[in-house]
Amino acid sequence: MITIDPALFRADLEAKPASLRALADRLATRNPWEFVGPTRRVIFLGMGSSRYAAQVAARRLRAAGMDAAAEYASAEGRPPSDSLVVAISATGKSQETLDAISDLSDFVALTNDPDSPLARRATATVEMHAGAEEGGVACRSFQHTQILLDALVSHLTGSEPAPIRRAAEATENLLTRRPEWLPRCGDLLKGDGVFPIAPVERLSSALQSALMFREGPRVPADGCETGDWSHVDVYLTKTLRYRALFFPGSRYDDQALGWLRERGSTVVAVGGDVPGAAQAIRFRHDDDSRVRLLTETLVAELVAADWWIHGTA
């Protein structure tokens, strides 16, 4: 059983900039996906954070004209035989993911543990290089999963690679400036739950942020896509002390913010200024949406760690 420790979780977060820079150095000298040739279809398999990151990568591949999907590893059936299957698990021990690949003869493992059961069964392994997460929470490994899946997208489509060093600078900036924003952010988000909202291009930010509140301080939280929010989550603003952690950048921001203002909900914006927000948390390079993708979940992680340590949620 994994031991979860809030103080060690915070230490894992504080190690993010160094870990990112080390990964940037590795990727500058070697393409971890160089063994992958032209492929017709890409299927990502994973659960939780792994699938969140994969959803964004699959969407980018589809936008480039490829057939790609991020599937629950727990789903019935098996991928088509002409697919590049990438099974994702930070520990390499997720039971659903191991079950999903149990009868596959060819797949790639993306894992933080190259000696794990998943890696031992794989045709090839791409290591996350996130280091040991002593707090027991997938935080650096989630960030590294995003970057390595981005590297695969770049390899297959020729797109620009992730701005890792800029993300390291942005992460460091948020960590250094904690006294300026963290106490107020924590106070503002206390209510009947935390509801992160993000555009579809960065949906993983909303989903992972919500998970951090559930996994750490055990606070009710749910992530939603900005456009979809007006169809599925808006109803809660009428009955709850609704606290939105808002990641701007969708063409439907104004629609969601209009409802939030009308219902008197509290909005904390991350990475940009939005009308009516009680707080806007800015960070270095937040004008770059790809830096935001790799950085913005740190706000939820740090608030969750603080609540968890002090029992103040």
- Per residue in 113-171, pLDDT (tens digit) is 999 999 999 999 999 999 999 999 999 999 999 999 999 999 999 999 999 999 999 99
Q: Which DSSP symbol is given to 159?
A: P
In three-state secondary structure terms, 195 is: strand
What is the fold, at CATH topology level, of the domain defined by 165-310? Rossmann fold (3.40.50)
CA pair distance 140, 138, nearest whole angstrom: 6
Are the folds of 6-162 and 165-310 the same?
yes
Q: What are the structural domain ranges in the chain? A: 6-162, 165-310
Q: How many CA atoms lie within 13 A of 3 on its CB side?
A: 5
CATH annotation of 6-162? 3.40.50.10490
Question: What pLDDT, on a 0 to 100 scale, did the predictor assign at position 311?
Answer: 82
| Strands across the sheet containing 41-46 | 67-72, 41-46, 83-88, 108-111, 124-127
- For residues 190 and 304, give the distance between their C-alpha atoms in angstroms, rounded to a whole number: 11
Q: φ and ψ at 74, to 5 degrees?
A: -80, -5
Residue 1 has pLDDT above 60, yes or no: no
pLDDT at 4: 77
pTM of the model: 0.96
